[in-house]
Amino acid sequence: MCRWLAYTGSPVLIREALYTPQHSLIDQSLHSRLGAETTNGDGFGLGWYDESPTPGVFRSVEPAWNDQNLHELAAHVRSRLFCAHVRAAIGSAVQQTNCHPFRHDRWLWMHNGFINGFPILKRELALAIDATLYPEIAGQTDSEMLFFLALTFGLESDPIEAVGRALGHVEELARRRGVNHPFQGTIATSDGSRIWVFRYSSEGNSRSLFFSRDVRTLRYLYPERQILQELSDDARLVVSEPIGDLPGAWTAVPEASCGVIGEGRDELLPFVVKSPATVFSMAAMETGAPLRPVGG
């Protein structure tokens, strides 16, 4: 449905990731090869970290391929950690508040995929959002709802646990409401220090996700590429689909995995959804109260 990329490493002009590559994210906005749709023209977003307390976010409803302002920004802003997303809407409005990345304090969140049966589940998912966070929901999308659900479940203290519990909550609710294969997709989230990425779907057949090979290996393979000389050894890109055709440059993230990169971490782990079933108060279900975990 959408395509995204996330970068951490030595500061680079954002255009080096967004525009320069042969099959860049901007090119993917018009001609995606691996996505569910070839066109991702329903808005876009860019989030970047600098020395400010919160990341900058630039979002627009125009197709990324013809947004002059994105082109300008990408040519003038350097960042050591940034996220970009091109959107293919499925039902919800094309408006900035539906564009990724979503932001809460220092956190950014992007998603490619969907919650199946979202209209059926939306209200109960909204009720599970922490009441102090609820007024911050600005758009209509399943992706933003997931973000706030993950925040509710502790994203800021343990991202992998929180995403696991958020998706577990979605799956449990879907089971009770008779919705099959409720979650599909890939997720990236960051606090400005690290990036956590997830590839998961309830049906076990997830949207694609790739990370770039180790920069030292890439330099060895492609000594003529100037940009590789400029990148730090720990630079890493995670992308919905490869932004170039260099053999050996990209590695697929396995099904049901999550990764952590940045500030010395560079790990790929199995990702397990945390079913809330055992801890739910069944009484709460009966009375229509929010599906909130007990002792969570």
Tell me which residues touch a second copy (CB under 8 A). Answer: 30, 38-39, 41-42, 48, 50, 52, 56-63, 66, 68-69, 72-73, 75-77, 89, 93-97, 118-120, 122-123, 126-127, 131, 134-135, 137-138, 140, 287-290
Strands 195-201, 265-270: parallel, antiparallel or unpaired by DSSP?
unpaired
d(CA 101, CA 65): 18
CA–CA gap between residue 86 and residue 40 (Å, rounded): 6
Radius of gyration of the chain (CA): 19
Q: Which is nearer to a second copy, 62 or 214 (CB)?
A: 62
Cα torsion angle, 242, 248, 250, 256, sign: positive
Q: Which is nearer to a second copy, 29 or 206 (CB)?
A: 29
- 267 vs 283: CA distance, rounded Å: 40
Taking the complex as a whole, the smallest distance from the CB of residue 200 to a second copy amounts, in Å, to: 24
Question: Closest by alpha carbon to 152, among 173, 174, 137?
Answer: 137
- Give, for 144, the enclosing helix (H) or strand (E): helix 142-152
Select 173 or 209, whichever has its Cβ closest to a second copy: 173
CB 14 within 8 A of CB 21: no
Q: Is the CB of 62 or the CB of 234 nearer to a second copy? A: 62
Q: Give CA–CA dist 236/229, Å, rounded.
A: 14
Q: Closer to a second copy at the Cβ: 69 or 217?
A: 69
CB of residue 27 to a second copy, shortest distance in Å: 12
Nearer to a second copy, 37 or 266 (CB): 37
Closest CA to 54 of 111, 115, 118, 105: 105
